[in-house]
Amino acid sequence: MTRQAVTQHLRRLERANLVATVRRGREKLHYLNPVPIHEIYERWIVRYERQHLDALRELKKRAEGD
């Protein structure tokens, strides 16, 4: 991945408020912003994750003979 592509990607993540940026002199440090990432997780991923976990739990019960 080129440096320019990384810069563009980080800029988009900043605009989406998924990354916080801190400048220290000539450096520009990027940190994940956990709040919106958690909100995305709660809104979208948990729905599907529960179904998969339930299916795996049921598979385990059947495999172990419970």
pLDDT for 6-59, tens place per residue? 999 999 999 999 999 999 999 999 999 999 999 988 888 888 888 888 899 999
Q: How many CB atoms lie within 10 A of CB 63?
A: 8
Asked whether residue 66 carries a pLDDT value surpassing 70, the answer given is: no
Query: What are the residue ranges of helices labelled H in the chain?
Result: 3-15, 34-40, 46-64
Query: How do the domains of the chain map onto residue ranges?
Result: 3-64
